[in-house]
Structure 1
Amino acid sequence: MKPIICLDGDGVLLDFHSAYRTAWHKAFGSLPALKDPDAYWPIDRWDVHWLDGEDLRHFRSYFDHEFWRTVPAISGAKDACKNLSDAGYELVCVTALDERFQKARLQNLRDHGFPIERVVTTASTVGDVSPKAQALRQLMPIAFVDDYLPYLRNISPSIHAALILREANGSPNIEEKFTRVDSRHSDLLKFADWWLGRLKS
């Protein structure tokens, strides 16, 4: 069996920011301008307003199978995965997403050419333990890469916990006393280069 590396979806493999902007355009007919290129959350990144009530329900209706099947890839992520796969690792996407969109996410990754054949969906609610912890215990990967620090809480100490430090404004990736982070990287390609380079040294 190949050693497994688990990868988050949005923010690591896929560009949720761009997909959010497209969904807003479809829902309301206007393409939001860029407000803060260093914002972690899409509602802060784009020039949009807070929604509630019927407007919010209308917007959420656009986060359907078509949305999750067509999220753009993050630059360099496919190359990172190819390098890891060529080095002998099995890659599994572990993503906080409603289970009904699991097949759409897998199709999305396949359409981009990612060498990933398994998607595991989990809850998104964060507590003292990551909602992804149980899936990781079952998969027993040697490493897990995520861009959201709370998803690294109390995962198995046998798993290398890698944090992607993307856009900083409003980021939840502030060091926590009880959350272990083994390495930090600006994107997945940087992680892959570091991981494979470390093994060669």
Structure 2
Amino acid sequence: MKPTIALDADGVLLDYHHAYAGAWERAFGHRPALRDAKAYWPMDRWDVQRVSGDALEQLRACFDESFWRTIPALPGALAACQRLVDAGFRLVCVSAVDAKFAAAREQNLAALGFPLDGLVATGNVVVGVSPKAAALVKLGPVAFVDDYLPYHLGVPGSIHRALILREPNGSPNAGPELAAVDSLHPDLAGFVDSWLQRVSPSFPSCGASHVRAR
């Protein structure tokens, strides 16, 4: 059995920011302008107002199966995954998507060409520990890559916990909880550079990453 690496979807493989702007356009008829390119959350990234009542329901209706089937890949993510596969790893996506959208998410990733060996949908409720923790214990990967710090909480230390930092403004990826992760990276390609050097020191680096290993 090949060693497994578990990968999050949104923010690691897929561009949820881009998809959110598209959902807003579907709901209200115009694509929002960019407000802060370094914002972590899409509502801060795009020039949108907080909505409630009927407008909120109108927006939520656009996060349907079509939405989850059509999120674009992040730049460099597909190539990063292929490097891991070529190095002998099995890749599984562990996503906090609701179970009712799991098939759409899997179709999306397959259509984009990601070389994944399955999808595990966990839901997104955080109660003390990551909603992904139990699934990761069962899956037993050598590494888990996610861009949301709370999803690393409660993940066993036997699994290398890699955090993708991405956009810093308003990011939850800060504070003492960072002790729950083993390495920090700007994106998936940065993780792959670091990981392949870690498991095979002779493997050539294809780019820089910021890593804090322990």
Do Structure 1 and Structure 2 share a fold, with TM-score over 0.5? yes
SS in 2 for 1:110: helix
Q: Say whether the 8 Å CA contact 1:97–1:123 is kept in structure 2.
A: yes
Deviations along 1:166-199, whole A, 9 cap, x unmatched? 1001000013247511000000011011101222
Q: Is the 8 A contact 1:164 1:185 kept in 2?
A: yes
Identity %: 56
Does the aligned pair in 1 maintain the 2:8–2:95 contact within 8 Å? Answer: yes
Corresponding residue for residue 183 of structure 1: 183
Paired letter, 1:191: F
In structure 2, the residue matched to 1:135 is 135
Number of residue pairs the alignment of both structures matches: 201
The aligned residue for residue 64 of structure 1 is 64
Counterpart-to-counterpart distance in 2, 1:109 and 1:177: 30
Cα distance between partner residues in 2 of 1:178 and 1:36 = 24
Contact residue 149 and residue 177 of structure 2 kept, 8 A: no
For residue 92 of structure 2, give the secondary structure of its aligned residue in structure 1: strand
Describe the SS at the equivalent of 1:92.
strand
Q: Name the structure, 1 or 2, with higher relative contact order (CA <8 Å, separation 6+).
A: 1
- The alpha carbon displacement at 1:22 in A equals 0.5
The answer to whether the Cα contact below 8 Å between 2:165 and 2:185 also exists between their aligned partners in 1 is: yes
Give 1:127 shift: 2.5
Q: Which residue of 2 aligns with 1:79?
A: 79
**CA pair 185-35 structure 1, distance change in 2 beyond 3 A:** same
Larger mean Cα displacement after TM superposition, 191-200 or 28-37: 191-200
Contact 1:19 1:72 in 2 (8 A): yes
Q: Which amino acid aligns with 1:11?
A: G
Paired letter, 1:112 = L
Distance 1:99 1:125 in 2: 12
Please say if residues 149 and 178 of structure 2, whose CA atoms lie closer than 8 Å, have aligned partners that are also in contact.
no
**Whole-Å Cα distance in 1 between the matches of residues 173 and 159 of structure 2?**
19
Aligned partners of 1:153 and 1:179 also within 8 Å: no
1:148-181 Cα offsets, whole Å, 9 max, x none, are 0000001111000000011001000013247511
1:155 maps to which residue? Answer: 155
Where does the alignment leave 5 or more consecutive residues of structure 2 unmatched?
202-214
| Runs of 4+ residues deviating >2 angstroms | 175-179
Find the aligned partners of 2:42 and 2:120 in 1 and give their Cα distance. Answer: 24
Residues 36-60 of structure 1 show CA distances to partners (whole Å, capped at 9, x for unaligned) of: 0000000000000001111111101
Deviation, structure 1 residue 113: 0.7
Question: Which residue matches 1:174?
Answer: 174
Instruction: Give the letter aligned to residue 90 of structure 2.
Output: E
Q: CA RMSD in A?
A: 1.0
1:65 is matched by which residue type in structure 2?
Answer: E
SS at match of 1:83: helix
8 A Cα contact 1:106 1:117, kept in partner: no
Measured against aligned partners, the alpha-carbon deviations of 1:51-83 in whole angstroms (never above 9, x if no partner) come to 111111110111111100000100010001000
Q: Distance between the aligned counterparts of 1:172 and 1:126, measured in 2? A: 14
Is 1:114 paired with 2:114?
Answer: yes
For 1:165, the equivalent position in structure 2 comes to 165
Inter-CA distance 63–138: structure 2 relative to 1 (3 Å threshold): same
What are the Cα deviations for residues 8-52 of structure 1, in whole angstroms up to 9, with x where unaligned?
010000000000000101110011000000000000000000011
Q: Distance in 1 between matches of 2:66 and 2:173?
A: 30
